[in-house]
A and B are shown apart, each in its own frame.
Chain A
Amino acid sequence: MHSLKAVTPLGASAPVVDEINGFTMREVVDRALVSVAARKGQDKAVAKILAKLIDAPTPQAGHFGGAMTKSKSAAIWMAPAQWMLDAPMKSRDDITTSLAAEFGGKASLTDQSDAWCRFEITGPQIDRLCSLLCAVDPRRLTAGCATRSSIEHIGAFLVRLGRTKLHVIGPRSSAASLHHAITTAMTSSVY
């Protein structure tokens, strides 16, 4: 076991939690993300392997499939023939190695776990919060949807896990700016 200590995207030793106006926002650090891009001509084969891994149909554009729970994996549609596999973070060192065996050279795999920060937001007024954050129509961002938008000039993914639960995934280096934008909107969203 190595001696280095990880920090969260916000630079803390434990996930930062904010509770504002009935919202709870928590830094998510226990999920691994791996980009899965099908090699030429392997779209269907890769989709099939992915479906098996997430135990659900491979998601179409604008959606995710599977479950983001402690023991289950999910896949977020990114582009034609490209998904982001979201898996429980066990040891980040083995995930691409074990996945490489699963995909057998049919997909290009790139570990993206550390490229992103992720905030889980829960609360009854997620739609209102969305309205202050980005141009996505919250009426269409229903459970199972995953889409890309811009939050205060930061490119981010919005993953709707349920009526009261949303994941915002943004670039790790801008975690503080994204955190500021979301907490500000939470404070301001009493209207």
Chain B
Amino acid sequence: MKLKGWKDLTPGSVILEGGNAVQFKTGSWRAFRPVWKKENCIHCLFCWIYCPDMAVNVKDGKMMDFNYDYCKGCGICALECPGKKGQTAIEMVEEGK
């Protein structure tokens, strides 16, 4: 991609394109990875609501999987996950293990 020169920039560094954070993948920062245990998931979607980015894929009101392109491994989803009968549906696993 050719980078813009100073004459081509929008004044005030305003971003004119809504929702373009999708172009900025931040998953490589992650040290811990959330792993979904489907059998313990009650599809409450707390993980989707609490995720500060867009790392939880949901379809038709159901948790589908994680999108690791945007997951920074903050662990909020794992903390909030109520699981099923005390068994968590999201476990944080160290990357590279």
A binds B: no
Binding site for A on B (CB under 8 A): none
